[in-house]
């Protein structure tokens, strides 16, 4: 443990302040790289050149969204450039890549810490379909039909990953279910506005019924001795020492993550895998500051990102969102960053059958493990 503690302290550096020069250097590096890609693409086909040039994404103004996209953001396809609205007076035009490079400059200077546990608090969301006859079906993929509606249930999970030779804990609590949309709320009121729903027997040993409620549920805390000093992100069952040994340059980190992809999901698209693994590394592991910075820089060089200002996460924090979307894989990753400091506020992953997860808290602590609160914070 002493060696790992010393390694963390050495990685912290002596000056945790991100200077204007740090940010400017990162942005200049990113723009020079974009120009190099532009020149390199001169002899390519039109489509290949568009993919190459679009690697830092679309320049967008740091001003309220104008509704140009379905979610208020301008969007390019995977690496396809789209004309951006002009910057308004008093705003600074930054691309999605620029936002991520500011975050990288911040993370590189961040202070590494140690603790007894690495704690991650996530809020998971999933949909249930309530049919007109009262039957309830997971997980939102079934149409509600006439007289039916959909519910969105939020559950908060908190993991406390201990050190080698220690233990780990998992705390969980339902935050309740409610109609997913205003239209669902209207159908719910027509159905009598029930406050609980019986989903039928579970796959537990006693086959008890799973009952959803509109109120927060009882918190539980489980000890998981086998999970101590184990991190499943990014796509691997790693120890703390493995995580601390991740490479600290974008090129080397990319190669390492693609090695993991080759072992775990060889048929997956490289960009999809890099986005997913990098997001998990940032939110779910105690990676060193320089490794986290490398992950941000790696993401900044990938095609297909969109940016939107004044986005609020599930806990009410507001920042600038950088999002990657892969409809063909039903996968979306959204990072919300404080535009002033570059700090990662939350990471949201959406995929599969209408479910998503948002990281609200991630870091070392000496607190005693306990079940999560009945609120999102």
Indicate if 148 and 284 belong to the same structural domain.
no
Q: Are both 149 and 293 inside the same structural domain?
A: no
> Partners of 102 in the beta sheet?
none
Domain that holds residue 25: 1-118+157-173+222-377
> Strand (E) positions, the chain?
59-61, 93-95, 117-130, 136-139, 149-161, 169-179, 196-201, 209-213, 220-223, 305-312, 318-326, 331-337, 344-351, 355-365
Q: Are residues 167 and 297 in the same domain?
A: yes
Shared-domain flag, residues 339 and 248 = yes
Per-residue confidence (pLDDT) for residue 258, from 0 to 100: 93
3-state secondary structure of 370: coil
According to the model, what pLDDT value does residue 101 have?
82
Are 241 and 342 within one domain? yes
Contact 129, 143 (CB under 8 A): yes
Question: Quick one: pLDDT at residue 172?
Answer: 94
Please give the tally of structural domains in the chain: 2
**Cα 305-309-310 angle, rounded to 5 deg:** 140
Is residue 366 domain-shared with residue 278, that is, in the same domain? yes
Question: Which tokens go with 324?
Answer: 């990657």
Residue 186 is predicted with a pLDDT of 96
Residue 319 and residue 261 share a domain: yes
pLDDT for 325 equals: 87
Same domain for 131 and 254, yes or no, is no
Q: Are residues 238 and 130 in the same domain?
A: no
What pLDDT sits at residue 375?
77
Nearest to 280 by CA among 306, 262, 298: 298
- Specify which residues 130 forms β-bridges with: 136, 149
266 and 336: one domain? Answer: yes
What is the model's pTM? 0.68
- Asked whether residue 230 falls in the same domain as residue 343, the answer is yes
112 with 141, same domain: the answer is no
Q: What is the pLDDT of residue 140?
A: 66
Domain boundary among 203, 221, 239: 221
As to burial, measured by CB atoms within 10 angstroms (0-12 exposed, 13-18 middle, 19+ buried), residue 341 is: middle
pLDDT at 300: 86
Query: Are 82 and 75 in contact, with CB atoms under 8 Å apart?
Result: yes
Among residues 187, 221, 255, which one ends one of the domains? 221
User: From the centroid of its chain, how far is CA 305?
Assistant: 14
**How far apart (Å, rounded) are the C-alpha atoms in residues 305 and 293?**
18
Q: Mean pLDDT in each 10-residue stretch from start to end of the chain (377 residues)?
A: 39 37 46 40 28 23 27 31 31 66 78 85 89 84 87 93 91 93 95 91 74 91 90 80 91 93 88 88 88 89 87 84 85 83 79 71 91 81
pLDDT of residue 178: 94
């Amino acid at each position: 443990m002493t060696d790992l503690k010393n390694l963390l302290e050495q990685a912290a550096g002596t000056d945790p302040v991100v200077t204007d020069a740090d940010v400017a250097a990162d942005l200049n590096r990113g723009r020079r790289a974009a120009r190099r890609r532009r020149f390199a693409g001169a002899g390519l086909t039109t489509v290949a050149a568009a993919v190459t040039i679009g690697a830092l994404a679309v320049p967008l103004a740091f001003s309220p969204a104008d509704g140009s996209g379905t979610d208020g953001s301008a969007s390019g396809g995977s690496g396809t450039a789209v004309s951006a609205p002009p910057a308004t007076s008093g705003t600074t035009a930054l691309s999605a890549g620029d936002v991520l490079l500011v975050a990288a400059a911040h993370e590189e200077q961040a202070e590494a810490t140690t603790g007894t546990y690495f704690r991650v608090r996530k809020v998971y969301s999933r949909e249930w379909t309530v049919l007109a006859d009262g039957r309830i079906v997971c997980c939102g993929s079934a149409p509600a039909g006439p007289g039916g509606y959909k519910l969105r249930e939020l559950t908060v999970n908190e993991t406390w990953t201990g050190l080698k030779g220690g233990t780990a804990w998992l705390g969980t609590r339902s935050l309740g279910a409610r109609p997913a949309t205003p239209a669902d709320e209207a159908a719910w009121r027509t159905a009598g506005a029930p406050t609980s729903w019986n989903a039928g027997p579970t796959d537990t040993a006693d086959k008890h019924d799973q009952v959803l409620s509109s109120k927060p549920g009882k918190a539980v805390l489980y000890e998981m001795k086998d999970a101590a000093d184990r991190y499943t992100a990014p796509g691997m069952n790693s120890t703390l020492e493995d995580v601390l040994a991740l490479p600290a340059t974008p090129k080397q980190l990319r190669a390492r993550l693609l090695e993991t992809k080759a072992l775990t999901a060889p048929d997956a698209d490289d960009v999809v895998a890099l986005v997913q693994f990098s997001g998990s590394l940032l939110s779910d592991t105690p990676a060193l500051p320089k490794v986290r910075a490398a992950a941000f820089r790696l993401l900044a060089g990938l095609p297909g990102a969109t940016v939107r200002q004044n986005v609020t996460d599930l806990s009410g924090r507001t920042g600038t969102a950088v999002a990657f979307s892969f409809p063909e894989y039903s996968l979306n990753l959204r990072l919300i960053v404080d535009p002033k400091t570059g700090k990662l506020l939350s990471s949201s992953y959406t995929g599969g059958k209408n479910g998503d997860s948002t990281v609200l808290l991630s870091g070392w602590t000496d607190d005693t493990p306990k079940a999560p609160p009945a609120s999102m914070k």
